[in-house]
Amino acid sequence: MDTIRLLGHSHIDAVWLWTKDETLRVCVDTFSNVLDLMDKYPGLIFCQSTAQYYEWIEKNRPDLFERIRARIREGRWEVVGGSWVEFDCNLPSGESLVRQMLYGKRYFMEKFGVDVDIAWLPDSFGYSWTLPQILAKSGIKYFLTQKLRWNDTTVFPYNVFWWQSPDGSKVLSHQTLGSYSESLENVEELMRQLLMLRLRHGLTDLLVLFGYGDHGGGLSEQHVERALRLIKEYSSGERVVKFSRASEYFSQLEKHAKSRDIPVINDELYLQFHRGTYITQAEIKKWNRKVEALAENAEKLATIAESLGAKYPLLPLREAWKTILFYHFHDAICGSSIKEVYEEAEEDYEKAAAALYKIIEDSLTAIAKHVNTAGEGTSLLIFNTQSWTRRGIVSLDVSGLGERVFSVSDQHGEAVPSQLVNDGGKRRLIFIADGVPPIGFKEYRLTTTKTQQPSPSGLSIAETHERIRLENEYLSAEIDKNSGLLVGLEHKPTGWSVIRRGEAVAIHIFEDKPSSARKAIEGGFEAVLFDAWEIYIFDQPDGVKSFRLDKPVSVEVVEKGPVRSAVASRYRFSQEGRQDTEITVRTVLYSAIPILYLEVEMDWRAQHKLAKLSIPTSIESEHICYEIPYGHIYRRTPYSKNSTTSERGKHEVPGQRWADITSEEQRVGLSVFNDCKYGFDATLNEVRVTLIRSPSYPPRWPASGIERWLAEGEPTDQGRHVATIGLYPHAGDWRDAQTVRLAIEFNNPLIAKLEEAHAGPIPKTYSFIAADGDAPITALKLAEDGDHIVLRLYEPHGRGATTTLKLQAEVKEAVEADLLERPLKPLTINNGQLKLTLNPHEIKTILLRK
């Protein structure tokens, strides 16, 4: 029998063409309206996601909250989603995606006694391959979207499928036949959807989401009357039309999946549309990367401090995480909201960052007072928040210490090369710390000298009429003085010349004016409507238009020392009718560090332009590897002769802290790191990092007509932007080269803490928790309830791992848990060590108790 299930629904954008205060008003109006309709129509069923909205209602309208709670108990108001907001799935870190479910599901269980098992992401802009594992380990069984109807290159062919992560975790998934806000006016359209479902999957059970979306509103009385008319007039002996919960629908899908084979998609769900969302609004993306790292480091250090007697700042950490999670809403972090949203976001991020910096500083102070810092001069404790021994750059702000000259020595009293530099107007002392233990610290000593003595190091810089050469123990880099471009990069251990002969690492600026060359195949929306969302560089009527920055205003050596040397190449880009854009690329090399840093500073004034940093290599590979949340993915470049139609649609792709191109034949490769970028593309021998683009802001709500929507508005991303790109040539592939570790280090510098001399029970070099093997510890925190320590790690290489955790003697009990911190099975600690086996790509959570 054919079944059409009608479910009231109101997709509410947390921010978009309006700000948070408007969203709260929309929630109040929407929920009040739905509850009133429920009073009038006893059979009506409605579903709503997003824990953030319920918390707003709880705090601002407790009367409304109690009415919602009553309808949830009755079973007519269905809580779906389980996450804090309907989040973007490509740009947040893996740990952030875990926290979406942790905070969202815990809220729903605490307030309503509901253990949500349906992930509800109808409007997010593509879905990371690792998401099914995060969902499954959070107690989610099902996944719903409608967004893949918006593909512009190939039709997404499935409406019912198993979606599988690389580790083998699966969730039963539904791509709706219609939108998330059907009007119920067109009965023929519903019958067409039912027919397509039958033809594709042999399924005769259709879920229809009806109501107003985006700006909320919920349901109108006309919606409900239409639904009742459908139920009355189209139910027959061969068909039933009824109100239904989403959970009832997924139960039927589960029965269907058991009775016949349904497709398994073991891949990302890439949206062939909205590719510009990886780039637009560069500053919110930079803030996101920054506060994600701050939150993880603050938790680790606060957990250590708590073990030494300090109070754990549970509530401040939770509030900071809620800020981070809120702005993972897809129209926020993806850059498709109005200007006021980003002005408010910056204020919120600044508050969250200030709170996290305070937690870090308080935790360092609490730890340092227990350390034996006795000795000549001032103790300089270098903290490593990662789970392996590190060598890294230390940058200490000495602006408040006067114009003194400093000397750094190690624990043996040996002088360590150091250098005073000016970074952003601050006077900093930099040096390279070595052997800093895992999740621990190492002491150096800081003394004052009359003059800074030159210290020998492996770093050198040489200048001729045509070239500037930077060289350290690992790399040799050449900059052409006529163009200011990096034209040579040698990996000294292998002798490999990284950059293709005759080419250079350069910024290219592309024409990115909206074009009507494409549209969503099933959704029907024209790409020209989505300036903030979409990239148009390949859609220009006369072909791709780009301009290479290779005529510098100046090229000069700006730093020359034993720790760091730098060359600055300055450029100007002119666009008719606009102020000139000024761009400076600082090529920086440190002593004893195998990475070449490219610091890009832009005063960006262009409109409908897009800038990419092109890195041409002397090797060739049709597959490029990218970091994704808690994992990696190989994608074939669309320029390969072997690429499929859908692969050719991936002409801009999301990634996180690193991308890698490797030649299997030559056994060399190049990893490209970044500290705030998420958009990439690649040819067979070139990786390109998308730096910035400047579409027009979307109009404010309400947009009155298509002319208003298409009107030339204020361009986004104007002003100063700074990004750092790292080039890491290596032998072997990225796994052999420990690319994951170095990319984490690139985004999490060593932390310096000055401490006066005093006695203490903790020695001058100490590790609180260490992990051998390749699985990094990504989270170390106190449990949301109880006195457990939560430790999370993941297998990054796709080949499994055995890891031994070296714990403090006080830890007596270990239990494996799910991502909601619920115990699963006990583990055995032997002599302070916990041995773990991780399957390929596995995320593992451990609870430790003293």
What integer pLDDT is reported at residue 684 of this predicted model?
Answer: 97
| Both structure tokens of 557 | 């050596």
**Exposed, middle or buried by CB within 10 Å (0-12, 13-18, 19+), for 163?**
buried
CA distance 329 to 92: 10
What integer pLDDT is reported at residue 234 of this predicted model?
Answer: 92
What integer pLDDT is reported at residue 237 of this predicted model?
Answer: 82
**Helix 314-326 with 94-112: angle, nearest 10 deg:** 110
- Interior angle at CA 667, CA 506 and CA 473, nearest 5: 65
Q: How far apart are the first and last CA of the chain?
A: 58
- 107 and 101 in contact (C-beta within 8 Å)? no
- Can you spell out the DSSP letters for 619-683? S--SEEEEEETTEEEEEE-TTSTT--HHHHT-SSEE--SEEEEEETTTTEEEEEEESS--EEEEE
Which helix (H) or strand (E) is 781 found in, with range?
Answer: strand 777-782
- 274 and 533 in contact (C-beta within 8 Å)? yes
Pairing of strands 46-48, 77-79: parallel
CA distance 207 to 249: 7
Cβ-proximal residues to 260 (8 Å cutoff; 6+ apart), any chain: 202
Diameter over CA atoms, the chain = 97
What integer pLDDT is reported at residue 453 of this predicted model?
Answer: 63
Q: Which of 612, 607, 598 is nearest to 278 (CA)?
A: 612
609: which DSSP letter? E
CA distance 537 to 648: 15
- Can you spell out the DSSP letters for 18-82? S-HHHHHHHHHHHHHHHHHHHHH-TT--EEE--HHHHHHHHHH-HHHHHHHHHHHHHTSEEE---
- 563 and 591 in contact (C-beta within 8 Å)? yes
What integer pLDDT is reported at residue 617 of this predicted model?
Answer: 98
- 766 and 440 in contact (C-beta within 8 Å)? yes
Q: Is-above-0.75 flag for pTM?
A: yes
Owner of token pair 């009806």: 210
- 215 and 337 in contact (C-beta within 8 Å)? no
**Exposed, middle or buried by CB within 10 Å (0-12, 13-18, 19+), for 464?**
exposed
3-class SS letters over 28-45: HHHHHHHHHHHHHCCCCC
Q: Beta partners for 206?
A: 4
335: which DSSP letter? S
CA distance 307 to 850: 9
- Interior angle at CA 281, CA 343 and CA 726, nearest 5: 125
CA distance 706 to 702: 11
Pairing of strands 777-782, 467-471: unpaired
Dihedral of the CA atoms 508, 512, 518, 522 (nearest 10)? 100
What integer pLDDT is reported at residue 96 of this predicted model?
Answer: 98
399: which DSSP letter? G
- 847 and 827 in contact (C-beta within 8 Å)? no
CA distance 614 to 510: 12
CA distance 804 to 438: 13
- Interior angle at CA 675, CA 674 and CA 676, nearest 5: 100
- 829 and 812 in contact (C-beta within 8 Å)? yes
**How far from 479 is each of 497, 588, 611, CA to CA, in Å?**
14, 11, 21
- pLDDT averages per 10-residue partition of the chain, 850 residues: 96 97 97 98 97 98 98 98 98 98 98 98 98 98 97 97 98 97 96 96 97 92 97 92 98 93 96 98 98 98 96 97 98 98 98 98 98 94 98 94 87 94 90 98 91 76 97 98 98 98 98 95 92 97 96 98 97 97 98 98 98 98 98 97 97 98 97 98 98 96 79 93 98 98 98 96 96 95 92 97 89 95 96 95 95
CA distance 165 to 127: 11
- 87 and 121 in contact (C-beta within 8 Å)? yes
| Both structure tokens of 329 | 């809403």
CA distance 272 to 521: 10
- 244 and 207 in contact (C-beta within 8 Å)? yes
Q: Chain centroid to CA 335: how far?
A: 13
What integer pLDDT is reported at residue 571 of this predicted model?
Answer: 98
- Interior angle at CA 91, CA 85 and CA 97, nearest 5: 50
Q: Chain centroid to CA 457: how far?
A: 37
What integer pLDDT is reported at residue 469 of this predicted model?
Answer: 98
Alpha helices in 166-273 (DSSP H): 187-201, 221-234, 246-259
- 478 and 488 in contact (C-beta within 8 Å)? yes
| Both structure tokens of 120 | 């509800």
CA distance 107 to 86: 15
- Asked whether the bond before 702 is cis by omega within 30 degrees of 0, the reply is yes
Instruction: Identify the three-state secondary structure at position 719.
Output: strand
Q: Which of 492, 385, 395 is nearest to 741 (CA)?
A: 385
696: which DSSP letter? B
